[in-house]
Amino acid sequence: MSYKILLNSFNTAYNTAPFSKIKDDYYLPAFKQAIKDAKAEIDAIINNSDAPTFENTIEALDFSGEQLDRISSIFFNLNSAETNETIQKIAQEVSPLLSEFSNDITLNEDLFKRIKSVYSEKDALNLNTEQQTLLDKKYKSFSRNGANLEEDKKEQLRDIDKNLSKLKLTFGENLLAETNKFEMFITEESDLSGLPEGAKEAAKQLAESKKKEGWLFTLDYPSYIPFVTYADNRELRKMLSLAAGSKGFKNDDLDNQKIVLDIVKLRHKRAKLLGYPTHAHFVLEERMAETPENVLNFLNDILAKAKPAAKKEFETLKEFANELDGLENLEKWDGAYYAEKLKQKLFSLDDELLKPYFKLENVIAGAFKVANKLFDLNFEEVNTIDKYHEDVLTYKVTNSKGNFISVFYADFFPRTGKRNGAWMTSFKPQYIKDGENSRPHVSIVCNFTKPTKSKPSLLTFNEVTTLFHEFGHALHGMLANTTYPSLSGTSVYWDFVELPSQVMENWCYEKEALELFATHYETGELIPMDLVDKIKESATFHEGMQTLRQLSFGLLDMSWHGIESPDAITSVKDHELEAFSNTKLYPDVVDNCMSTAFAHIFQGGYSSGYYSYKWAEVLDADAFEYFKEAGIFNKEAATKFKDNVLSQGGTENPMTLYKRFRGQEPKPEALLKRAGLIKK
């Protein structure tokens, strides 16, 4: 067995990745060979003696490099979910090679000539809508990435892209190392006062795994969140909060400050090279929002409506903390703790009261039942599919006719080689080639509390909505039904990609949906309807503050990427304080910095795009209003959503697709009403 296993059809069930047979040292030679093979495919397109056509140029280009794409998917997904030092080292070596290969294509004059030739005749080609979109996107991807530049500027672009790919990787590696490095050991049981039994047991088990007595807390979310939410010991909450808030901001080997400044400056330089005022202008040209001005107007419009509510909520929280404990200054490490106590007082609703009704296995089954009722999907757990870790669950997805739809991977628990947070990804896209509809391999990755010796994995309500959110992304990938891989599934405008995920969260609040899965893990008793009413009633609790928080992240993102002179920024912290000045509620913590841990924009793909979470909330609130009117399991509404949104990928302008589903453009009022920020 050698690295060549990565270069052929895998000869496995559904052609899934043979993880157990792939050794780390296979990746580098496989990448090099796959790049060579992909270059040969590009050369064949360029050297074709026939005149350029849509089929021999545009279509051929979209289907080229399939094996390279699969190797990249496998490798980089593992680098997020199951990494190690070897994989990280390979990533540092491979990323510049991939960046260079990408530039070899987009900066290839002969290839661009053929694309230009087809593009210039587009009106006479009688293309269908998807073909027109593909042609437009291919042409733009070349023109927007330097194809029209002079040779010396093309070289500058290559250097910038190589550097950016390495900087983004290092940013993420530093963040993961910081998360793994911090440990808070507790030996006195009195220091655990206020903590739920499940959190204590998990901490004890974690300590035992390190051969230590006592309780161990880390910066992994299932450990961190319960502690800052429930622990009575304010000093320990502070310690944990400061550790979380100072990631990448300690002026040590894992510091991300210079990396942030370098990334921002290089992105700006790249945009200027391509003729755009800022990186945000470059990015937003291919988004629903279109311009930085539109994004800022959108964010500031919602800010104007949310800020009065947020300030009022914050003052109420301060007064409550003062009345309860005589606390005069509410700090960041106090927020979650007193908010939870106030929520319990106002709604008699405690996350710990809800958790027994949200056993992980039941919630997964519930998500599957919702998908079945809406979209006729069936999920069957199978053990014939290779996994990259024993915790991963694997499913075969079929429709009501028994047709194979997708492979689905689910990876739910934290571990050392896995980054924090939750995300959806894919190991293989959907596409139609030679008359065959090749189906996708989709994955969701989360960080939920592991089962303990006495309890299964019980989710907080927030984790339930997270699971449904990522499952919504997964449905977008699974139900894809397009011809071309680059337009398939979640390959849509970035500010449209969150609609399928965020709309799915709505079912978590509905009695009809909760009745499908919210049963007590010990007694089997259905969740009491008074608790369901309280969940709905409390859904807008601190919505003003939550909205302000989301807006602050969007504004911070735009401040980094919509600025015309990033070279003038010398202090990451000072710049951040300025960006937060209009959304600030809590006193600043000198030793903390958000930007140095803002993986979404400096490691992931959200640069100039963080606003899209709020943008998609407008879409999802408006979309779900339609489901509420028709019935949350109404087949006609669900089919319209599947046929016009979930299956269409990026084949048309997203607003066109949305209006075809909804019959109108989305109205922001639906979101503001749902959030309780304007009267219904």
Nearest C-alpha neighbor of 627 from the set 645, 639, 613, 643 = 639
Which of 470, 505, 576, 617 is catalytic? The answer is: 470
User: 71 and 30 in contact (C-beta within 8 Å)?
Assistant: yes
Contact criterion met (CB below 8 Å) for 173 and 599: no
How many Å from the N-terminal Cα to the C-terminal Cα in the chain?
64
Q: Where are the beta strands (DSSP E) in 430-550?
A: 431-433, 436-438, 441-445
3-class DSSP assignment, residue 284 = helix
CA 645 to chain centre: 19
Residues whose CB falls within 8 Å of the CB of residue 83, separated by 6 or more in sequence, listed in order = 176, 417, 418
User: How would DSSP label each residue in 545-569?
Assistant: HHHHHHHHHHHHHHHHHS-S-GGG-
List 398's β-bridge partners, or say none: 378, 404
Q: Which residues contact 325 (CB under 8 A, 6 or more apart)?
A: none
Give CA–CA dist 347/425, Å, rounded.
37
Dihedral sign from CA coordinates of 96, 97, 98, 100: positive
Q: 556: buried, middle or exposed (CB in 10 Å: 19+, 13-18, 0-12)? A: buried
Distance (Å, rounded) from C-alpha 503 to C-alpha 641? 11
How many other CB atoms are found less than 10 A from the CB of residue 226?
Answer: 24
390 Cβ contact list (under 8 Å, min separation 6): none
Residue 261: name the closest of 600, 579, 561 by CA: 561
Rg over alpha carbons for the chain, rounded to the nearest Å, is 25
Q: Which amino acid is at 114?
A: R
Parallel, antiparallel, or unpaired for β 441-445 and 404-411? parallel
Structure tokens at 528: 């009491």
Q: Report residue 249 as tokens.
A: 């901001």
What tokens appear for 147 in the block?
Answer: 């194809």
Using CA atoms, how far apart are residues 406 and 439, in angstroms rounded to an integer? 6
List beta partners, residue 443: 409, 425
Closest CA to 94 of 125, 113, 111, 73: 73
Nearest to 467 by CA among 487, 489, 449, 486: 449
CA–CA distance, 319 with 98 (Å, rounded to integer): 55
Active site residue 564: no
Compute φ and ψ for 283, nearest 5 degrees. Answer: -65, -45
Active-site residue numbers? 470
